[in-house]
Structure 1
Amino acid sequence: MSVRRTAGYLAWVLLMAFFFANAEIQIEGSAGWAANLPTWRIEKHWLLDIFWGGRAMTGYHAWVFPFMALVFFAPLAFNGRWTWRDAALALAGLMVFWMVEDFVWFVANPAYGWAHFDPAHVAWHPHWLLGAPVDYWIGLGGAMLILLRLHRPKRTKA
């Protein structure tokens, strides 16, 4: 797998994140995390603290998150082959997608913008570190580890 191919793939992921964020702005408006959508919500549960970063689980997110996972893994299904390398690249792409999509949602949303990208204005991201939600750092670190592993130099036999 070439670095050039991966860079092209990640550029495509960024473009998809930009489009999805803007579609989601049209859907949610100023009420992030599906606050005003006609969907069910589970606000508090100990499993949400572990697996969902302390955010509410909504019907909207219960459908959109697996849908996007299916989108990212669709090429593996349609190629007729499944390799660990391709699955790892799809997972890294999905991680980058959600990080960038969420950030673009704030920056491009007229109700927020860069000035309101902070814990005081974004209650559904309860944990922040170095000016960003902790989820971003976890996603960035995870994606980087996957990509570095995919592009590590091959060992030669001595």
Structure 2
Amino acid sequence: MSDAAVKPWQIALTLAWVALLGLFFAQVEIQIEGPAGWAANLPTWRIEHHWLLDIFWGGRPMTGYHAWVFPFIALFFHFPMLFMAQWSARLECRAVGCIMLFWIIEDYLWFVFNSAYGVARFNPADVAWHKHWLWFAPTDYWVSLLLAGVLLWLSYRRKA
């Protein structure tokens, strides 16, 4: 990865592309899940209660659907590095930061565009699978946004 100064438009284009991917995948999940979020009505296995789910999954159930879709998205975001046969800690920070940002955007847009929810029903009373909220959003959003911001900052900063 070059040490040349990154142009603001390059960062903006990356973020816009991640948002576009989030929009498209939100639409896919709306078609798959309908009004029943977190794969509630899908024919998949579920682990409802386990102490590790509280630590790593925000208290949500682990499903077969999510066991496959999360690594799929991670592989998808890592494909450019494989395709170009390039890897660095900076590129890894960018990929992981983009994955985290993707999931926040995708999840929120699922509510925005899902006719069973909309922005008005994006709250703890109507969204039982997001168990922990801070202000107006699930705590996962805040933690992921902070970590994604740090990772993206590390990936774009110039070397000293």
The answer, yes or no, to whether TM exceeds 0.5 is yes
Task: Kindly state the Cα deviation for residue 150 of structure 1 after the two structures are TM-superposed.
Answer: 2.8
For 2:44, what is the secondary structure of its paired residue? coil
Task: Kindly state the Cα deviation for residue 146 of structure 1 after the two structures are TM-superposed.
Answer: 1.3
Task: Kindly state the Cα deviation for residue 38 of structure 1 after the two structures are TM-superposed.
Answer: 0.3
In the other structure, the counterpart of 2:54 is: 49
Q: What is the correspondence of 1:9-158 to structure 2 with a 5 Å cutoff?
A: 9-155=14-160
Give me the whole-angstrom Cα distance separating, in 2, the residues matched to 1:46 and 1:83. 34
Task: Kindly state the Cα deviation for residue 49 of structure 1 after the two structures are TM-superposed.
Answer: 0.5
Give me the whole-angstrom Cα distance separating, in 2, the residues matched to 1:16 and 1:74. 14
Structure 1 segments of 4+ aligned residues over 4 angstroms from their partners: none
Among 6, 10, 19, the alignment partner of 1:5 is: 10
Give me the whole-angstrom Cα distance separating, in 1, the residues matched to 2:117 and 2:140. 19
Letter in 2 for 1:27: I
**Cα-to-partner distance string for 1:49-82 (whole Å, 9 max, x where unaligned):** 0110100000000000000000000111111111
Report the RMSD for the aligned CA atoms in angstroms. Answer: 1.1
Task: Kindly state the Cα deviation for residue 87 of structure 1 after the two structures are TM-superposed.
Answer: 1.0
Normalising by the residue count of structure 2, what TM-score does the alignment of the two structures yield?
A: 0.93
Give me the whole-angstrom Cα distance separating, in 2, the residues matched to 1:78 and 1:150. 19
Q: Percent identity?
A: 59
Task: Kindly state the Cα deviation for residue 5 of structure 1 after the two structures are TM-superposed.
Answer: 1.8
